[in-house]
Amino acid sequence: MTDVAAKPTDSLTVRDNRTGQEYDIAITDNTIAAKDLGQIRVGEDDPGLATYDPGFVNTASCRSAVTFIDGDKGILEYRGYPIEQLAEKSTFLEVAYLLIHGELPTKEQYENWVHEITYHTFVHENVKEFVQGFRYDAHPMGMLMASVGALSTFYPEAVNIADADNRHMQMVRMIAKMPTLGAWSFRHAQGKPFVYPDNDLSYTENFLSMLFKMSESKYVADPRIAKALDVLLILHADHEQNCSTNAVRSVGSSQVDPYSAVAAGVGALFGPLHGGANEAVLRMLKRIGSKENIPAFIEGVKNGDERLMGFGHRVYKNYDPRAKLIKKACDDVFEVTGVNPLLEIAQELEKIALEDEYFVKRRLYPNVDFYSGLIYEALQFPPEMFTVLFAIGRTPGWLAQWNELITDKEQKIARPKQIYTGDRELTFVPAEERWA
């Protein structure tokens, strides 16, 4: 019998019914260390008990001080600051500084940071040549993924990841150059000439200039549009251990350079269950076409024919706080561009879904991608560009998490276990005998 009173309170007592043996496993920060289960074994040859967790639904892969989420309450904080306050009162570059450095900048630190980012927006001329080498109809996310990865060949010193100054330089470069790469992917797909960065402009104004400038000598963005885009970038800047951040950390754990690690993040973000959802939402709304078709569409979703894109989240089981803020940004943008006619369908879809038992029971609410596509479309972005905007916004988050990983003594190369289900010890018969 276990003497419960003698056990440390922050521990778990596990009884292995195969052997009758009991083990005390420490609980720290409401988790147990998976490696502690390794001592639970039935014999000498047994490698020990492991956990099985496809999709990491209940496994912490790191300690992190970057972003806090309470999915039940719909809370999101970057370095402790609520997203609502940052979206209203900060700027994307200040948020980027906060995420990477862990605290808000002084005036001098902020000015230096903005100066550094602004003066690294240009890319090597060779980048222009290889972006031009993509097919005319190449997806801009494919181009972005390839070109951010290719930056590692321009900055071979980026492999010196143990050097803090060197890491800083690459992080600055990446935040600075992502809009240039994203804008050039867009211009290439449109068959338009590339626009060089304009260092007199703010981060978001310069991005808009590289996207939309034609023959005018200076592109002047509507300040309401520039502000709305800046807010959208802030809302996307980090989201703790999501699929793409996990990809960045996983690839970064091999100690590769950060450009290669971020290229992996861009790849993960491209998928329709992650950043690609905003593109999928817009296509879905266009397919639904009018409010009358919504009930039939919802029935199809409930029958499992497809998913209601832009709804549901692994972590939020409440309204995604970013979706609320995006709805507000929608109003600001539509004031300039006129209302996107798909908004009516989206709002009706949301209303019906939020009252339907299927969605209520599964706690499915609109996520960040539900309304963002409507804004992007109003800003004249084709759907293929939506995830590129997400990637530019997420870059400081990926880098903050990568930097944290590199300086975390507890981290190791990511290498999960498997449960092997295949054959064993077969005898190989050469092809000429098998086919005889």
CB of 364 to ligand CMC, least distance (A): 5
- Please check whether residue 298 is in contact with residue 353, taking contact to mean a CB–CB distance below 8 angstroms: yes
Q: Phi/psi zone of residue 419: left (φ > 0), alpha (ψ -120 to 50 degrees), beta? A: beta
3-state secondary structure the chain: CCCHHHCCCCEEEEEECCCCEEEEEECECCECCHHHHHHCCCCCCCCCCCCCCHHHCCCCCCCCCCEEEECCCCEEEECCEEHHHHHHHCCHHHHHHHHHHCCCCCHHHHHHHHHHHHCCCCCCHHHHHHHHCCCCCCCHHHHHHHHHHHHHHHCHHHHCCCCHHHHHHHHHHHHHHHHHHHHHHHHHHHCCCCCCCCCCCCHHHHHHHHHHCCCCCCCCCCHHHHHHHHHHHHHCCCCCCCHHHHHHHHHHCCCCCHHHHHHHHHHHHHCCCCCCHHHHHHHHHHHHCCHHHHHHHHHHHHCCCCCCCCECCCCCCCCCHHHHHHHHHHHHHHHHHCCCCHHHHHHHHHHHHHHCHHHHHCCCCECCHHHHHHHHHHCCCCHHHHHHHHHHHHHHHHHHHHHHHHCCCCCCCCCCCCCCCCCCCCCCCCHHHHCC
CB of 321 to ligand CMC, least distance (A): 12
CB of 417 to ligand CMC, least distance (A): 21
CB of 310 to ligand CMC, least distance (A): 5
Between 73 and 362, whose beta carbon lies closer to ligand CMC? 362
3-state secondary structure 76-119: EEECCEEHHHHHHHCCHHHHHHHHHHCCCCCHHHHHHHHHHHHC
Between 77 and 240, whose beta carbon lies closer to ligand CMC? 240
| Residue with smallest beta-carbon separation from ligand CMC | 312
CB of 254 to ligand CMC, least distance (A): 24
Between 113 and 376, whose beta carbon lies closer to ligand CMC? 376
CB of 119 to ligand CMC, least distance (A): 31
Between 203 and 270, whose beta carbon lies closer to ligand CMC? 270
CB of 362 to ligand CMC, least distance (A): 4
Which residues would be at the binding site for ligand CMC (CB under 6 A)?
242, 273-275, 277, 301, 307-314, 362, 364, 367-369
The residue type found at 399 is: L
CB of 363 to ligand CMC, least distance (A): 8
List active site positions. 274, 313, 369
Between 115 and 362, whose beta carbon lies closer to ligand CMC? 362
Between 128 and 307, whose beta carbon lies closer to ligand CMC? 307
Between 301 and 343, whose beta carbon lies closer to ligand CMC? 301
- Please check whether residue 207 is in contact with residue 229, taking contact to mean a CB–CB distance below 8 angstroms: yes
Between 90 and 245, whose beta carbon lies closer to ligand CMC? 245
